[in-house]
Structure 1
Amino acid sequence: MKFLSFIVMVYLPVIVFAQQDVLNKDSNNMNSGVSAVKMRGLNPPKIQSFIVPGVLIGYGLVSLGDNGIRRLDFNIQRELQRKHPDFSVRIDDYLQFAPVGAFYALNLAGVKSKHSVVDGTALFVLSRAFVFITVSSGKSGIGRERPDFADRKSFPSGHAANTFAAAEFLNQEYRDVSPWIGYAGYTVATITGVLRMYNNKHWLSDVVAGAGVGIASTKLAYLIYPNLKKLIMGKQVIKYSLVPMYQQKAAGLSFNGTF
C-alpha cells in the first residue's frame, strides 16, 4: 500500500500543522477583539471537510484488493463495453480545464471571486501541484492496468483529479456568490469522470479515487496558502491591475503589477 502511505505522509502532517496554526491565530485574534477572517483575508477549510475526499480515496484504495468493489469495476466496464463498444470522444481532455476557465471568465465579466485573480491563480497552481505529486505517485507506485490495456497507469484517474480539483477551486471562490456556480463545476467534473469510463480508460474506482485526490488537493491548498504567502511575501504589498484588452483582432488580458 505505497500509495496509502504516501497519502498519509504528505497530507496528514500538513493538514494538522496548518490547522493548528489557524486555530492559534483565531485564538489570538479573538483575544484582541479582531476578526480572524478579516486578519487573514481567507477562510481555510476545517479538518472535517477532508472527510468526504478521504472516503473517496479510501474507496479507491479498497478496490486494489480482491473484493466486491473491485468486482463492481469489472461489471461496470463490461456493461459499458457491451452497450457502447465503439464509443470514443476526446472532450474529456478539454473538460478538465472548464472550471478554472470559468473562474477567469467570471472575473473578466465583473463577477468577483473570493480572492483576487493573482491569489486565486496561486491557489490553483498550488492545488495542481498537490494533484500532480499524488497522481504521479499513485500511477507509478501501484501500476494498475487500464481497462483497454494501454498501460499500467490507471490508478488514480488524473483527468478526474484535475477536474475535481478545479471544481472545488471554483466552489471555494464563488460559493458566497452563488452555490450553483460550484454545482456547475462539479457537474462538469462528474461528466469528465464518466467519460473516462465510457472511453475505456479508467475503472470506476480510479475515477472515485481521483475525485477524492482532486478535492483534497484544493482544500489543502486553501489550508496552507495563508502561511505560505506570508512566508514568501512577508508584509510586502502587491499592487496590480488585470484588465481585458483587444488589439489587432486578438483578445487577452493586460497585467500590470508593483511588487
Structure 2
Amino acid sequence: MIKKIVFAIILAWTTIGAQAQVFEPGEEPRTVRTEGFWENWFVQMGLDMTLQNPYGYDFSKVFPNGKSFGLDLAVGKWFTHQVGVRGKFNWENKLPLLENGHANWLAPFYQPGENRRKGGYIAVYGDALLNLHNLFGVYRPERKWNTSLYPRIGINYNFGVSKGSLLAGIGLLNTYRISDRWSVYGDVAYIMTGSGFVGKESKADTGTGSNSNGYLTFGIGAQVELGKIKALKNAKMQDDLSVLSNGIWDNWFVQAGMDMSLMNPYGCNFGKVIPKGMTFGLNGALGKWFTPEYGLRGRVQWENGLIPNNSVEWVPPVEDPRQNYKKGGLATIAIDAMLNLTNVITGYDPERKWHTTGYVRAGIITQFVEGSGSPLMGVGLEETYRLNDKWSLFGAAGYQVSTSEGMGVSTTGMDVSAGSNGFFDIDFGVRYDLGRNKFYRDEETKKKAYAQPVAGHNWPRFAVNTIASVGVAYIGKTALKAMVKEERPDHSDNKSFPSGHTAMAFAAARSIDKEFRKESIWIPIAGYAAATAVGIERVANDRHHWYDVVAGAAVGYGAAELAWYLSDKLLGSGSKVALTTTGQTVDVTYNF
C-alpha cells in the first residue's frame, strides 16, 4: 500500500505543473506569455469513421465497400497560442459495435469480413497543429471556438494482410470549450498511404506513388486539459522559464546548405552504400521559432541533380542508373517540427551560442525520372552555432524512410512494410535570421535575473546545496526503506525500495544541473547520464528492481529541488560571495 501511495505522489508530482490551454496576453501586440515544456498538455478520446478510396475506384461506392469505424486516443501540447503538436493512436474495424463486415476495399481486397476477423488495422499519427484563429487574428483567452490546420505523418499496420506502410495527410481540428478543463472536438483529414495497405494485391491495378491509395477520416470526441487550471484573470507566470512569445513576423530564419544522402533499399547490404547508394545535393529551408522550445520549418532538398554520381544504382531506374541524373535526380518537400532540446532541458538563455535541436520530418519524395511521389517520414538532430546576431552555422544528421514506390530497387515491391526503403541524410550550411530573432522575458523574470550575481559561479552555494541535496536524499530513502521493507531481488535483505544509490546520484545530478544549466547543455546531460548509469548498474547486479531505481531517481530529484528551494528562501538566491576567473587569476567578489 505504501508503495502505491509513493508512486501516486510521484505521478501527481510529474503532472501538477501542467496548465490548461489558456495563455496570458503580453504587453506587445500578438504576444502571449508561455511557460516551460511541461505546461499546456491535453488528452483526447473519441470515435471515427474512415472512407477508403483505392486508386481508380468510384468514390460513390465507398458505402459500404470502403467504410470502417474505430477508436481514437491522442495526447498533445500547445507550445503557444499558435502552434502545438499531437500524437494520435487509431484502431479501426475491430472493436465491438464498430465493425463493418462489408469493407471490401480494405486489404485483403474483395474478401469481405476478413480484415475485421484478423484484427482490422491500427495507425499512429503525428500532427503539427497550427491554430488559424491565432495565426491570422488576435489571441483572446476567452475564445471558445478554435480551428487548427495540421500536416500529418505516421505509419499504419493492416492485420488483414500483416503489412504496414507510411502515411502522410492534412486535416482540420475544430474544438469548442465547454469549461476551463473540458472541450469537444471534431476532426477531418485526408490521408495518403502505400498501395500495399488499401486496394488490390497487384500494384499494376492500383498504380504507384503517393496517390495510389487514400482515405478520408472523420472523428468526434472529448478533450481534457491536464494539470491545474489557470484562472483567466490576474494570471501571472512566475516560473523562470516564462517568456513572451514574439509576434507572427518575428523569429523567422532561412538556411541553405549542401547534403549527402546514403540510400539503403530493403534487403540491400549497407556496406555497399558507397558508391551504389550515395548522392549529393542542395537544401534550403524557411522556418520560424514560435517559442524558445518549438518551431516549424519548410524544407526543400534536391538530390543528384547538380552533383552527379554515375555509380549510383539504388535509385530509379535501376537498369540505367545514369538516367536518374540526366532527368533531374530526386527531390523532397517536407515540414519539420523542431524541438530545441537545449532550451527544454536547461531553460532559455538569449546569449547562448550552441543549440541542439531534434526534429520530426513529414513530407513527400519524388523521382523526376518517374514523375511520381510517395510519403516521407524522418527524424534527426541538428546542431547550430551562432556566429553573431544574424548568422549561424548548422550541421544535421537524420534518417528518413519512404514507401517502396518512392525509392529503391524495383524488386522491393509492395510486399514490404514502412521500413522498406530508407536513407541517411547529412547536411551542413548556414542560417540567417530575418528581423528580430530573440525572445524576451517578462519584467518579473528580468528582475529575478538581475538579482543574481552576474559574474561566475557561486561555488560556496553550489557546494553547500549539493551536500544538502544528497543529505536530504539519504534521509528520504532511509525513511522509505524502513516503511516499505521490500526484499531485494538477490534476497540479501528487505531494503530494496527505493534505491539509495540512485537517489543520491540523482540528487547530485540535479544540483549540477541547477548550477551549470545556463553554461552548457552537456554538463547536466553528463550528470544525468552518470546517475542513470548508477541505476542501471544496481538493477544489473540484482540489487534492485527497476521500479526501485525509478523511485530513487524521483526521491533524489525532489531532494535537490527542496534543498535549493530552502536555500533560496533562507539565504537568498544570490549570495553576496561569488568566485570568477579572469585570464590566469581567480577573483573573489563581495556584493554589498
TM-score by length of 1: 0.50
In the TM superposition, what whole-angstrom CA distance separates every residue of 1:12-38 from its partner, at most 9, and x where no partner exists? Answer: 9xx9xxxxxx95xxxxxxxx9894324
Instruction: State how 1:135-150 maps to structure 2 within 5 Å.
Output: 135-150=477-492
CA contact (8 A) 2:502 2:549 kept: yes
Would you say 1:173 and 2:173 are equivalent positions? no
Instruction: State how 1:1-259 maps to structure 2 within 5 Å.
Output: 1-2=1-2, 4=5, 35-38=446-449, 40-41=451-452, 112-113=456-457, 116-230=458-572
In the TM superposition, what whole-angstrom CA distance separates every residue of 1:125-147 from its partner, at most 9, and x where no partner exists? Answer: 22123212210111000000001
Q: Residues 163 and 112 from structure 1, CA distance in 2 versus in 1: closer, same or farther, beyond 3 angstroms?
A: farther
Alignment length, in residue pairs?
A: 164
- Tell me by how many angstroms 1:217 deviates: 1.4
Whose strand fraction is larger, Structure 1's or Structure 2's? 2
CA contact (8 A) 1:161 1:213 kept: yes
> Relative contact order (C-alpha < 8 Å, sep 6+): which is higher?
1
Q: Distance in 1 between matches of 2:507 and 2:2?
A: 22
CA contact (8 A) 1:156 1:209 kept: yes
- Tell me by how many angstroms 1:196 deviates: 0.5
Q: Residues 238 and 195 from structure 1, CA distance in 2 versus in 1: closer, same or farther, beyond 3 angstroms?
A: same
CA contact (8 A) 2:459 2:578 kept: no
Gaps spanning 5+ residues in structure 1: where? 16-21, 24-31, 43-110, 244-254
In the TM superposition, what whole-angstrom CA distance separates every residue of 1:168-203 from its partner, at most 9, and x where no partner exists? Answer: 111121111110111111111111111101111111
Q: Distance in 1 between matches of 2:456 and 2:576?
A: 18
CA RMSD of aligned residues (A): 4.3
Q: Distance in 2 between matches of 1:34 and 1:193?
A: 36
Q: Distance in 1 between matches of 2:546 and 2:488?
A: 11
CA contact (8 A) 2:456 2:580 kept: no
- Tell me by how many angstroms 1:240 deviates: 7.7
Q: Residues 36 and 147 from structure 1, CA distance in 2 versus in 1: closer, same or farther, beyond 3 angstroms?
A: same
Letter in 2 for 1:186: Y
Letter in 2 for 1:174: F
- Tell me by how many angstroms 1:216 deviates: 1.5
Q: Distance in 1 between matches of 2:538 and 2:504?
A: 13
Q: Residues 239 and 169 from structure 1, CA distance in 2 versus in 1: closer, same or farther, beyond 3 angstroms?
A: closer
Letter in 2 for 1:41: Q
Q: Residues 175 and 200 from structure 1, CA distance in 2 versus in 1: closer, same or farther, beyond 3 angstroms?
A: same
Q: Distance in 1 between matches of 2:535 and 2:444?
A: 46
CA contact (8 A) 1:164 1:214 kept: yes
Q: Residues 202 and 241 from structure 1, CA distance in 2 versus in 1: closer, same or farther, beyond 3 angstroms?
A: same
Letter in 1 for 2:479: S
In the TM superposition, what whole-angstrom CA distance separates every residue of 1:70-128 from its partner, at most 9, and x where no partner exists? Answer: xxxxxxxxxxxxxxxxxxxxxxxxxxxxxxxxxxxxxxxxx954xx1111112112212
Larger Rg: 2
- Tell me by how many angstroms 1:40 deviates: 4.7
Aligned to 1:48: none
Q: Distance in 2 between matches of 1:240 and 1:179?
A: 22
TM-score by length of 2: 0.24
Q: Residues 33 and 182 from structure 1, CA distance in 2 versus in 1: closer, same or farther, beyond 3 angstroms?
A: closer
In the TM superposition, what whole-angstrom CA distance separates every residue of 1:151-183 from its partner, at most 9, and x where no partner exists? Answer: 111000001111111111111211111101111
Q: Residues 112 and 199 from structure 1, CA distance in 2 versus in 1: closer, same or farther, beyond 3 angstroms?
A: farther
- Tell me by how many angstroms 1:222 deviates: 2.3
Q: Distance in 2 between matches of 1:171 and 1:121?
A: 13
Letter in 2 for 1:117: W
Q: Distance in 2 between matches of 1:201 and 1:242?
A: 43
- Tell me by how many angstroms 1:239 deviates: 5.1
Q: Residues 164 and 37 from structure 1, CA distance in 2 versus in 1: closer, same or farther, beyond 3 angstroms?
A: same
Letter in 1 for 2:447: A
CA contact (8 A) 1:197 1:204 kept: yes
Q: Distance in 1 between matches of 2:445 and 2:547?
A: 45
